[in-house]
Amino acid sequence: MTETDAAGSSSDWSGQTALVTGSTRGLGRIIAQRLAERGVRVIISGRQPSAVDRVVAELSETAGGALGFAADLSDHQQAHDLAARALDAVGEITILVNNAGMSRRGNFWDVTDDAWTEQVNVNLRAPFIIAQHVASAMIAGGRGGRIVNFGTIGARKAHRDGLVYDSAKGAVEVMTRNMAFELAPCGISVNCVVPGAIPDRPGVDLAGRDLTHATSFLPIGRLGKADDIAAAVLFFCAPESAFTTGQSLLVDGAHATYLYEF
């Protein structure tokens, strides 16, 4: 590693292809861009075809380039279809970032069956399904690979009115450990990034809000940025991190020492 890039741009990223779900905006958009800048060919995915096309065009001049497919991951069949279409298009995926997530806030006693299913499908079932397809292809290809899932600090503490989201993301951490155990002999690492107070996360609309009070509860003195999370993803994907698997990395500026819900 060089001093200028602790996340690994000095590494050899050539010949890598990454599928990043939920990559038309927010955290996923930045993660896709940082991978593409390192020469990784990136597959963009989001619900809206127009948004997918826009990001693909924006990344077309990066070192890795991009292609994309629209999919609504609340529909489990579309999760299957996304993985199959992506693999058919590129032949091999060496990096999977299960970034897509969503939250519908509300009292748990008011949660409908449809709202529960939507949140669990997007946050837990879709990552499971897509990882099944991609891991199977990685095993068949014999090169190994990297899978990075996404959790939430709310699974360690609690988000107000976020029981279903937090529960699903907590299950993602358990899934990560079990996947890592099963896939390690195949040369596939599986890890989980757990963001803290990051504005670009599911279910958060901070437009017009004064966050001075919220940041006063964060030991680091500021909210997290998308690049803070992207750096953790790049670490798990870097060639040098092959021995790191089954881990959940909390990236929160020491937020968990005193969880304040902004």
The CATH number given to whatever domain includes residue 236 is 3.40.50.720
Closest CA to 120 of 80, 193, 169, 162: 169
CA nearest neighbour of 179 among 98, 73, 77: 98
94, part of any domain: yes
- Residues of the chain short of pLDDT 50, as ranges, are 1-9, 262
The SS3 assignment for 157 reads: coil
* Per-residue model confidence (pLDDT) at position 12: 81
Within a domain: 131: yes
The two three-digit tokens of residue 82, written as one number: 């996304």
Q: Is residue 9 part of a domain?
A: no
Q: Is residue 242 part of a domain?
A: yes
Q: Annotated catalytic, 258?
A: no
pLDDT (0 to 100) of residue 151: 96
Annotated catalytic residue within 69, 150, 165, 235: 165
* Number of domains comprising the chain: 1
**pLDDT computed for residue 1 by the predictor:** 28
pLDDT value for 199: 76
Contacts 24+ apart (CB under 8 A), 6-11: 6/231, 6/235, 7/34, 7/230, 7/231, 7/234, 7/235, 7/238, 8/38, 8/234, 8/235, 8/237, 8/238, 8/239, 8/240, 8/241, 9/37, 9/38, 11/38, 11/238, 11/239, 11/240
Residue 255 in any domain: the answer is no
Residue 260 inside a domain? The answer is: no
Predicted TM-score (pTM) of this structure = 0.90
Q: Looking at the domain assignment, is residue 117 inside a domain?
A: yes
- Per-position DSSP letters for 194-259, written without gaps between them: EE-S-SSSTT---TT---HHHHTT-TTSS---HHHHHHHHHHHHSGGGTT--S-EEEESTTGGGS-
What's the pLDDT at 72? 98
Backbone angles phi, psi at 43, to 5 degrees: -100, 115
pLDDT at 197: 78
| Predicted pLDDT at 200 | 65
Whether residue 5 lies inside any domain: the answer is: no
CA-wise closest residue to 168 among 257, 236, 100, 79: 100
Domain span including residue 21 = 17-250
